[in-house]
Amino acid sequence: MKQFRPAVYQALCAGLLLSLISAVSLAQSQAPADERPVYVDVIPVADAGDSMLPQDVVAAMAREALSGARQASILTEGQRLPADVRVLRIMYIVHRQPDETGLTLAASASTELLRTADTGNGEMQTFSVYNGLQQTLVTAADADRAQTLLRTAFKKELQARIDSAFQNAEAL
């Protein structure tokens, strides 16, 4: 009976090893749905691209939030979008209101997740999957502190909007 024990252990180990190899190869062959990149389109409205919240900073915030949601991103930078892609469009505006105690900054933004589709006649059509609005208001004694507070609060709100957008199954 003792001479069969090593053979049983070897067979058991070989079976476990084959099961592990099979599971790993199956996992590698199934690509997750979220591997397609998200095109990021950041649009400051009016004079919103001022130094308090410039367009490149908002784009970096969006890309960081997408990275945290395990979504690859590509900045559009005015390029023509291909069919069947996801587009995260952020339109925002910043308003300054100085007063005797300091500075109040307000930033309003619309965060929209879109899908593009080819209409068949060479034109691209977009469909809205998600639309979220945010309003950020901060007050500080000086411009540097107001800018820091605005960027921190805006980033937190933008993260929440992006997280909400990707909770929808259509977004993936």
Instruction: Give the confidence band of 18 by pLDDT, cuts at 50, 70, 90.
Output: very low
Q: What is the pTM of this model?
A: 0.74
Span 68-78, pLDDT tens digits: 888 899 998 77
Site of tokens 């007063």: 99
Question: Which residue type is seen at 127?
Answer: F
Lowest mean pLDDT among 37-41, 66-70, 150-154: 66-70
Answer whether 42's CB lies under 8 Å from 58's CB: yes
Domains in the chain: boundaries = 1-30, 33-171
Distances (CA, A) of 143 to 50, 69, 102, 103: 13, 32, 8, 6
Stretch 143-162: mean pLDDT? 95
Please report the pLDDT score of residue 155 as a whole number.
Answer: 97
pLDDT, tens only, 94-150: 999 998 889 999 999 999 999 999 888 878 888 999 999 999 999 999 999 999 999
Which CATH entry fits the domain spanning 33-171: 3.30.160, 3.90.320, 3.30.310, 2.60.40?
3.30.160
Strands lying side by side in the sheet with 86-99:
73-75, 38-44, 86-99, 102-118, 124-140
